[in-house]
């Protein structure tokens, strides 16, 4: 269960809503049971259930002990052309579970305009999906998501500052570019992986990314769905970065 630090008062926490439902219905916890607790962007530990109120409004109270450091900071960030809302929901949860530091959601020529009206872009909705992924993975490091509605302003004005954070930038493009093993740079630091829209990056976009320092990377000739490509590339580069 993930908590904000200020939800703990004198080592006690009171949970209601979705979190109480989860503890009562899914974990089937009883008084005295231990549950894993994590502070968002902070330590991990456990809670001992003291009281469960099963009738509505439901609530659970627990005594909290924080003992462990959070898992180490993620090594991969993702730059993603805004996908359709239903796919973005899944990607947010899955990337949070896999572990990323930052997700940049970017406009591109082949991103449908209507995707920008999606409720999943609302900060609170995004946060809920990220928290689900973190809870799944028993992690506490909440990824930072930023939204960039103009491709060109992002590339020209924002990227030059951001680039300093990265040892390696790769842009995923199906075809005959090198694979992850061939283009990976074994230096310490973060990697930024850019994945295009359903219709692919256009030539101007790939050219701009390459000019800004991204190396093209391919997973071969198979055309993968955006979410498959994101997850496969994350897993591959994440493994390489841990070496």
Phi, psi of 48 (to 5 degrees): -100, 120
Q: Is the Cα torsion angle 174, 175, 176, 181 positive or negative in sign? A: positive
Using CB under 6 A as the binding rule, whether residue 223 contacts ligand SAM is answered as yes
Q: Kindly report the number of other CB atoms within 10 A of residue 38's CB atom.
A: 23
The distance of closest approach from Cβ of residue 225 to ligand SAM in the complex, given in angstroms and rounded to an integer, is: 6
Using CB under 6 A as the binding rule, whether residue 107 contacts ligand SAM is answered as no
CA distances to 26, 48, 95, 131, 144 from 61, rounded to whole Å, are 16, 9, 30, 20, 30
Of the residues 37, 95, 129, 219, which one makes contact with ligand SAM according to CB under 6 A: 219
Output 23 or 219, the one with its CB closest to ligand SAM. 219
Output 143 or 196, the one with its CB closest to ligand SAM. 196
Q: Could you tell me where the beta strands, DSSP code E, fall in 33-133? A: 34-39, 44-53, 59-68, 76-81, 102-106
Using CB under 6 A as the binding rule, whether residue 234 contacts ligand SAM is answered as no
Using CB under 6 A as the binding rule, whether residue 195 contacts ligand SAM is answered as yes
The distance of closest approach from Cβ of residue 93 to ligand SAM in the complex, given in angstroms and rounded to an integer, is: 19
Applying CB under 6 A, the span of 2-10, 131-139, 159-167, 216-224 interacting with ligand SAM comes to 216-224
Q: Tokens representing 122? A: 């609302």
For residue 37, what are the β-bridge partners? 45
The distance of closest approach from Cβ of residue 218 to ligand SAM in the complex, given in angstroms and rounded to an integer, is: 4
Cβ atoms of 91 and 241 within 8 Å: the answer is no
First to last CA, the chain: 30
The distance of closest approach from Cβ of residue 137 to ligand SAM in the complex, given in angstroms and rounded to an integer, is: 23
- Quick note: the x/- pattern for ligand SAM over 158-187, rule CB under 6 A, is --------------xxx-------------
Closest to 216 measured CA to CA, from 195, 230, 234: 195
Output 206 or 241, the one with its CB closest to ligand SAM. 206
Residues 65-94 that bind ligand SAM (CB under 6 A): none
The radius of gyration computed from the CA coordinates of the chain, to the nearest angstrom, equals 20
The distance of closest approach from Cβ of residue 109 to ligand SAM in the complex, given in angstroms and rounded to an integer, is: 11
Binding site for ligand SAM (CB under 6 A): 172-174, 195-196, 198, 200-201, 218-220, 222-226, 229
């Amino acid at each position: 269960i993930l908590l904000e630090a200020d939800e703990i008062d004198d080592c006690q926490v009171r949970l209601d809503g979705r979190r109480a439902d989860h503890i009562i219905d899914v974990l089937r916890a009883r008084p005295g049971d231990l549950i894993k607790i994590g502070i968002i962007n902070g330590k991990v530990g456990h809670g001992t259930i003291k009281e469960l109120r099963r009738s509505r409004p439901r609530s659970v109270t627990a005594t909290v002990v924080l003992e462990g450091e959070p898992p180490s900071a993620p090594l991969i960030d993702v730059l993603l052309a805004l996908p359709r809302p239903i796919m973005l929901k899944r990607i947010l949860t899955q990337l949070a579970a896999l572990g990323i530091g930052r997700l940049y959601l970017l406009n591109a020529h082949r991103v449908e305009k209507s995707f920008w009206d999606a409720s999943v872009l609302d900060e609170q909705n995004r946060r809920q999906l990220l928290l689900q992924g973190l809870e799944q993975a028993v992690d506490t490091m909440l990824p930072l998501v930023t939204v960039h509605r103009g491709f060109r302003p992002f590339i020209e004005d924002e990227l030059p500052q951001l680039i300093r954070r990265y040892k390696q930038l790769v842009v995923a493009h199906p075809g005959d570019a090198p694979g992850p093993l061939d283009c990976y740079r074994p230096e310490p630091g973060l990697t930024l992986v850019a994945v295009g829209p359903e219709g692919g990056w256009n030539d101007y976009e790939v050219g701009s990314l390459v000019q800004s320092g991204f190396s093209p990377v391919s997973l071969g000739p198979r055309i993968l769905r955006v979410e498959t490509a994101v997850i496969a590339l994350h897993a591959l580069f994440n493994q390489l970065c841990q070496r």
